[in-house]
Structures are given as C-alpha cells and as structure tokens.
Amino acid sequence: MAPKKDTLLDWYRQMVLIRRFEERCAELYQQGLIGGFLHLYIGQEATGVGAVNALREQDHAITAYRDHGLALARGLDPKAVMAEMLGKKTGVSGGKGGSMHLADYDRRFWGGYGIVGGHLPLAAGIALKAKYNEEDEVVLAFMGDGSTNIGYFHEALNLSAVWELPVVWLVENNQYGMGTSVERASGAVEIVNKARAYCCGPNGRGMKEGPRVDGMDVLAVYDAVSEGIEHARKHGPILMESLTYRLEGHSMGDPQRYRTKEEVEQFVANGPIGRFRDYLNEKYKGIDPRLDTIDQDVLDTIDDAVEFAKNSPDPTYDDLISHVYAD
C-alpha cells in the first residue's frame, strides 16, 4: 500500500528533525555541553526513517551506538533525547546512558549499544520472546557494515536461522567501519551474501538473503523493510542491506584521512533529504511552502528540546546509586 501524502510529509519531518537535531548536537559538543563520543547519523536519515516507519506498533527496534536518528524516528521525545545527550536527569536513560545508550521501553526501542555487535544476540533473544509467547512481533535489528565481521554477528544470525526467529537483520552499509572500508574489512563485499552461510536447513529453513536497497531513498527502504518484516513474520530471519553513506566523521573529531573530500561531496550532492524533497515537489505541485513550514517547525522543536535539556537538573547522588540492581 503506497503511503499517503500526510505520511510522506511526516517522514520528511522526521528526516529533517534528525538532521537538524544532530547539527545542533555537534554545536553543543563543540561548546562542551555534550561529552563522550558523539556518532552522527547525518546522511543515513532515509535508511532510519524508511525502516523504522515500516515497523508496526508491536514490533521492536534495536541498534548500535549510532542511535539518535533511529530513536527520533521511533518517536522518542526530542526533549528527552536531547536531555540524555546533555546527561540530564530528564533524559531517556536518566542521564546515565548518554548518546550511545538511548532507549525507551514503552516504544519498544531497546537501545543503542556501545559494543560493536553486542546487541545482535539481544535482538535474537527479544525475538525468541515473541516466538515463545506466539506473539505477532518482529525485531528490526540495525547494525553497521563493520559489525558483520565480529563473532557476535555470526552467532546471532546462525541462532536466528536455527530457531527460525522473526528478525529483520538490517545492515546499514555506510561503507566504513571507522576508517576501514568494507572492501578492506569483509570477505564478502556484498554483505547480504553472508546470509548464505545460514541457509538452508530442512524445508528451506534458514536465513533469507534479502535485497541491497538504495539507502538514500526513503521509499525504497520502506518498501524493502516492509517486505522483510512480512518475511520475518511468516518464515523467520532475513538479512538485508541498505546502501548509505555517513556524511560526517565516524565520531566528533575524526580527521577523515581514509576518504577524499571529493568522495564526500558526491554524496552531499545526492543527499537523502534533498532527494526526498525533490520527489515530494514533483509529486505534489506547490507543496514547497509547506515543506518550508515543516523546516521551521522542526527548528522550533529543537530549540524547545535544547531549552528543556539545558534547564533540566543533573542526576543526583541518589540517581548515581540507583538501579544498580532491580528491586
């Protein structure tokens, strides 16, 4: 079913929200208000927004440390996300998680995780819960291209194949893990090919090798992940790949010696937001002013979020010592 106009406009809003939110984060980082590591999602918005919007309410999402975009797309309150960036008590993780560890239990957003690949077995476990309880739920597990070379990846994918778990394994192939390109790090350069190692068992059981989608096209990602979710519901796991690009450094302060300015420029020129805006203008004549209004609203949302975060209290000593154990 093709998404309606309002839906498409909302996706546009989400993509702009992520972009502007992160640009503001970069400023706040320079000002010393955000500490630690900050991994920007800029350039990958179409992947996150297309994929997350394919989820149904009962489905689950989990990712690595590059998690702001997915958190916002999943509907986490920008105020609480910004407050977490600033380490405030009102943050989604109470100021104890930080940029890499955003989570929201109510939205079935199971978190960002700072250990490469460490969240992949968790995704399998969450999917096992759904299968165990015979619930119609799918887990969408995002990961970087680099994480497909770590042991966790192979064990998690293999188990999901053997146990026929409802997981969509979605590789956000932004072409680099830190400064190491896919070609220099992975035996298979088409990462979806790795699915073949986990297929096929009795009755064709096992990992489906999914598509490599244009991760700069929000509609294409949405369609592919929607199909992936259907497959996972009915038949079990699928590995798919979204071809995207990170326009900023790996994290703040990356000198980016591993790639050329020209390479980055090419992707800037064909960025996902501009492309989607062109598409909307083509499809709905005269929509441009409305898109401008959305742009402005987003800026207001972010101003509010920053204001909220700055005015929020820091966690206290009691917070420091709370939640070490479950009561």
Decide: is 121 part of the binding site for another protein (CB under 8 A): yes
Decide: is 191 part of the binding site for another protein (CB under 8 A): no
Residue type, 324: V
Tokens of 72: 């916002």
Stretch that binds another protein, among 13-21, 38-46, 127-135, 204-212 (CB under 8 A): 127-135
- Partner from another protein, ligand TPP, Mg ion, none binding residue 116, C-beta < 5-8 Å depending on class: ligand TPP
Spatial CB neighbours of 61, under 8 Å, sequence gap ≥ 6: 52, 55, 70, 74, 108, 109, 110, 139, 140, 141, 142
Closest CB to another protein among 125 and 211? Answer: 125
Question: Nearest Cα to 173, choosing from 191, 187, 157, 155?
Answer: 191
Tokens of 300: 């207001």
Residue 87 in contact with residue 118, Cβ under 8 Å?
A: no
- Partner from Mg ion, ligand TPP, another protein, none binding residue 215, C-beta < 5-8 Å depending on class: none
Using CB under 8 A as the criterion, what x/- string covers residues 62-101 for binding another protein?
-------------------------------xxxxx---x
Give the DSSP per-residue string, 185-200.
H-S-SSGGGGGGGGB-
* H helix runs in the chain, sequence order: 5-30, 45-52, 68-73, 78-85, 119-132, 151-162, 182-185, 218-235, 261-269, 272-283, 288-311, 317-320
Stretch that binds another protein, among 51-59, 109-117, 228-236, 245-253 (CB under 8 A): 109-117
Smallest gap from residue 107 Cβ to another protein (A):
11
Decide: is 163 part of the binding site for another protein (CB under 8 A): yes
Decide: is 124 part of the binding site for another protein (CB under 8 A): yes
From the list 22, 45, 67, 104, which residue makes contact with another protein (rule: CB under 8 A)? 104
Closest CB to another protein among 142 and 276? Answer: 142
